[in-house]
A and B are shown apart, each in its own frame.
Chain A
């Protein structure tokens, strides 16, 4: 599951190479969204710091 952002980025870069700008940016946005969801799933421990 954690490999999804990388494959989406690779797809987005292929779209860039192929001249499909809108498709590339769409795939980029999707991969960033997946990345942030994965971050949320992993950032579960409470930080032992005072802010």
Chain B
């Protein structure tokens, strides 16, 4: 796999993460399904994983960037697993909407596992690491996916400020604290 192809695949992966974040955001904005604290931390973990892809796109593929991806996906997965375990016993309730029969936190367990699997798959291709020419210019759709990802990181920060103000978020949020 050439470095150029690897960067393209990384940009595709970043777009996929953006789609997941956009889906969660649309559920929040359109259906009023406010994210709980653990949901917010899962979004943060997803952004932490996507950061490794952004590094690969800007500085060229490196094993260390893939390592950051795995750490980020593990963090998101740990938070999601905690939330699954909170509700795994029948009759203990659930949180938020359902998508194809699974709650969003269950999907996050699947997504984080897929990210780790995909990262492991990318690490199998050594030839992508041969180009040591340094920084790559971001242009075209690769720049667009990078920009969208940055916008979503910032938008999640603003949304969290509106929902939780300056402190810890309520466990069962009913509205935006700063808009009440």
By the criterion CB–CB under 8 Å, are A13 and B150 in contact? yes
| A19 & B82 in contact (Cβ 8 Å cutoff) | no
By a CB distance below 8 angstroms, the chain B residues around A5 are: 41, 44, 47-48
Distance in angstroms between the alpha carbons of A35 and B82 in the assembled complex: 14
Q: Which residues of B contact A (CB under 8 A)?
A: 37-38, 40-41, 43-45, 47-48, 51, 54-55, 58-59, 68, 71-72, 75, 78-79, 82, 85-86, 88-89, 92, 135, 138, 146, 149-150, 153-154, 156-158, 160-161, 164, 166-169, 171
Please pick, from B47, B58, B160, the residue contacting A2 in the complex, using a CB distance under 8 A: B160
A residues touching B (Cβ–Cβ < 8 Å)? 1-3, 5-7, 9-10, 12-14, 16-17, 19, 21, 24-25, 28, 31-32, 35-36, 38-39, 41-43, 45, 47-49
From DSSP, what is the main secondary structure of chain B's interface residues?
A: helix
A49 touching B149 in the complex, CB below 8 Å, given contacts A5-B44, A24-B55? no
Select one of A14, A17, A31 contacting B44, CB under 8 A: A31
Residue of B nearest to A27 (CB): B51
The answer for the CA separation of A13 and B161 in the assembled complex, in Å, is: 20
Q: How far is the CA of A43 from the CA of B168 in the complex (A)?
A: 12
Q: How far is the CB of B58 from chain A (nearest CB, A)?
A: 5
Q: Nearest B residue to A45 by beta-carbon distance? A: B86
A-B contact list, 19 entries, CB within 8 Å = A1-B168, A6-B154, A9-B48, A10-B150, A10-B153, A10-B154, A10-B157, A16-B54, A16-B55, A17-B58, A17-B146, A21-B55, A21-B59, A24-B51, A24-B55, A38-B37, A42-B171, A45-B86, A49-B85
